[in-house]
Amino acid sequence: MPDVLFLPECFADTALVTLLLPSATVIDHSFGVHNVVKAMKSASINQPTYKIVGIIDRDVTYKPKYRPPYFDDFTFNQAINRITCGKKTGTDQHLIMLDKAVDSFLLWNANEVSIDVANYGFSPELREFCKSVKRTTIGSDPNYLQLLTELKNRQAPGFITLENILNDFLTT
């Protein structure tokens, strides 16, 4: 198995990736997209044999003035099930973007498999759901973890796609 470092940008992403990957996987939470960029740059120097995978919300790429220039050398594939992947030219660095953000990604997946997030203590209204999911303690929230587990168990399309993408990094 190759050396892979996963760098999710928020606590909700970290909990999601942790659920979908084997327990021995190296996951290093990097708070915010700019810290993901810093960690990717640092890892390319300090861990040159590693495959580096940043996991961010896609919304940062919508406005060029907010998009880190580091992403300019990435080539991106077409989005599948609200997930876009990219690779930095000439490197083994990759980017997974959840579209539009983790909160809308989760709500879309819940809708696709007929899960009512209110049954897990969350508002189905995007703005309120976003506030709940962006908390720093979300990764230990039993309701959130149960929602993620149920989305995985019901084979939400984005979860299947994301799990396959993540595991491909571990096997190739």
Could you write out the DSSP letters of every residue in the chain?
A: ---EEEEESSHHHHHHHHHHS-TTSEE---SSHHHHHHHHHHHHHH-TTSEEEEEEEGGGGTSTTTS-GGGGGEEEPPPBTTEEEEEETTSSEEEEEESS-HHHHHHHHHHHTT--GGGGT--SSHHHHHHHHTSTTGGG-HHHHHHHHHHHHTT-HHHHHHHHHHHHHHH-
Residue 93 in tokens: 């660095």
Per-residue pLDDT reduced to its tens digit, 70-119: 998 999 998 899 999 999 999 999 999 998 899 999 999 999 999 999 99
pTM of the model: 0.93
Q: What is the pLDDT of residues 38-54, one digit of tens each?
A: 999 998 888 888 999 99
